[in-house]
Each structure stands twice: as structure tokens, then as C-alpha cells.
Homo-oligomer: A and B are copies of this chain.
Amino acid sequence: MKNTLKIIKIGGNIIDDGEALSAFLKDFATIKSPKILVHGGGKLATGLARELQVEVNMVDGRRVTDQETLDIIIMVYAGKINKNIVAQLQANWCDCVGFTGADGNTIVSTRRPVQEVDYGFVGNVKQVHTKTLELLLANNVTPIFCAVTHDGNGQLLNTNADTIAAELAIAFTSFYAVELYYCSEKNGVLKNVDDDDSVIEHINTQSYKNLLETGVITNGMLPKLDNCLHALNKNVQTVCIGKTSMLFNKKSKHTTVVI
């Protein structure tokens, strides 16, 4: 039987809240199985862009990334957020190393082709190389990923953190029984977006189609669920969406996605 690897993605609701982040990292450090943390960027990048008078340009919730915006993303995601997480985890006796996809050549992307929108320096994940990550995991060192990858030719690329988590999960299925957790500010996928108790506890391919048709799943959740189903189709064992409490309390309500 394969060992379990937990891949946990956290987003802005935790990253932007210093106390919530510290509390989460303290809990995260207690997870005994091999684990990888993937974090998004939160509001800090937008804040720095404003301070530097760099225009923030979003299309369908995705950031258009020109050179100046890319620099900000690298500084905030790979610098400020990633290294503060690493330092806090070390203080909690969780040995870890911060990663972009360039480090260890772990995640190679191609710049997203220009169709209706030119997203600029945004990457679509092409390949994941697990060698260096395996080496660290086998030695009890936890990789901490920010949402930056590279193209293999020297160019860093802004990359969706949900996708990074899914692609890492898929790449490790040969070695581990992989569990993928998307932590959000909600208890999971909700029947009624205003009612945090209306969690849909199980979603499968068929019910997903129904939820799409009936408009329960809205634009914000759509790419995340696509990532979930993609991961499950590629042998990831479990995908869960919910608050971070789902990781530490079995009774905590959340959505489990199955195929």
C-alpha cells in the first residue's frame, strides 16, 4: 500500500489574515504524513501594485500579468508570503523549503496562448518534475509552493494556485496515495451561496453536470471543480473542498468530490 501524501492549497482568506495564517500553520505543522502546501497570493499583491501605481487588470477573476505585475507577484508570492510561511513553519518544528516551479525545475509551464485576452506572463502547466520534491519529502522536509512557475527558458510565469495543487497531486500518484485539499472561506460547495450550512457533501461527475445545468455552481467555483475532476481522473484518491478545519476535525463539514 502506498503512503499518503496530502497536498493542501490555501487562499487569500487565510493568507490575508495574520492570526488565521499563524493558527493554520501551527496545525499544519502537526500533520504527520508527507505533505505539500500550495498558497495563493491574496490581496497583498494588489496592495503593492496600488502603492507602486501599477494598474491592476482582472479579466474573469484572473490577473492580466504584464512585466511590472509579474515582478510584483514574484516579490509578494515567492518573497514576502512564501518566506514568512517558511519561517513560521520552522518555528513550529516543521522543516520546509519554499518553492516556485523554477526551483528544482519542478513545474514547467507554457505562456498561455493569446485568444480573446492576452493574459501576459501567465503559465499553463505543462510538466511536473518530482525528483527534488521526492528527495525532500523522503527526508521529512515539506515543500511550500507559491503560484509561480517557469517556462524552462528563463521566464517566470504567474500560475493559478489551484492548478498547481492539482498538477502536483497528479504527478505524485505514482508514488503516493494522494489526497488533495482545497481550503476556502466556505464549508465547501454550497447549494445556497449565502448559507454556509448548505454544503453539498458529495459531488460526482454526474451530479456535477446537474449542478452546472441548474446554476448552483457559479463561475468562481467552476475552474476549481474542473481541477478536482481532472485530478480524480488522473488517479488522485480524494479531493476535498472546505474550511481548513476539515483537515483536523473529521466532523467538520466539507465537500468531497469523487468520479
A119-158 CB mask vs B (1 if < 8 Å, else 0) is 0000000000001100110010100000010101111100
Choice from B76, B84, B103 contacting A156 with Cβ under 8 Å = B84
Choice from B78, B79, B80, B103 contacting A97 with Cβ under 8 Å = B103
A201 within 8 A of partner (CB): no
What's the Cα separation between A78 and B99 when bound, in Å?
A: 11
* Contacting pair B90 A102 (CB below 8 A): yes
* Contacting pair B102 A86 (CB below 8 A): yes
Number of copies: 2
* Contacting pair B90 A96 (CB below 8 A): no
Cβ distance A41 to chain B, nearest Cβ, rounded Å: 12
Interface centre among A84, A103, A156 (most CB of B within 10 A): A103
* Contacting pair A141 B136 (CB below 8 A): no
**Cβ contacts under 8 Å, A259 to chain B:** none
Choice from B97, B136, B155 contacting A99 with Cβ under 8 Å = B97
Choice from B79, B91, B105, B136 contacting A74 with Cβ under 8 Å = B79
What's the Cα separation between A77 and B132 when bound, in Å?
A: 23
A66 within 8 A of partner (CB): no
A116 within 8 A of partner (CB): no
Closest to A99 in B: B97
* Contacting pair A90 B105 (CB below 8 A): yes
Cβ distance A214 to chain B, nearest Cβ, rounded Å: 43
* Contacting pair A105 B95 (CB below 8 A): yes
* Contacting pair B104 A95 (CB below 8 A): yes
Cβ distance A86 to chain B, nearest Cβ, rounded Å: 5
A-B contact pairs, 5 of them (CB 8 A): A74-B80, A78-B78, A78-B83, A78-B98, A84-B156
Beyond A90-B154, A95-B132, 7 additional pairs, beta carbon < 8 A = A75-B80, A76-B79, A78-B98, A86-B100, A86-B103, A90-B150, A96-B104
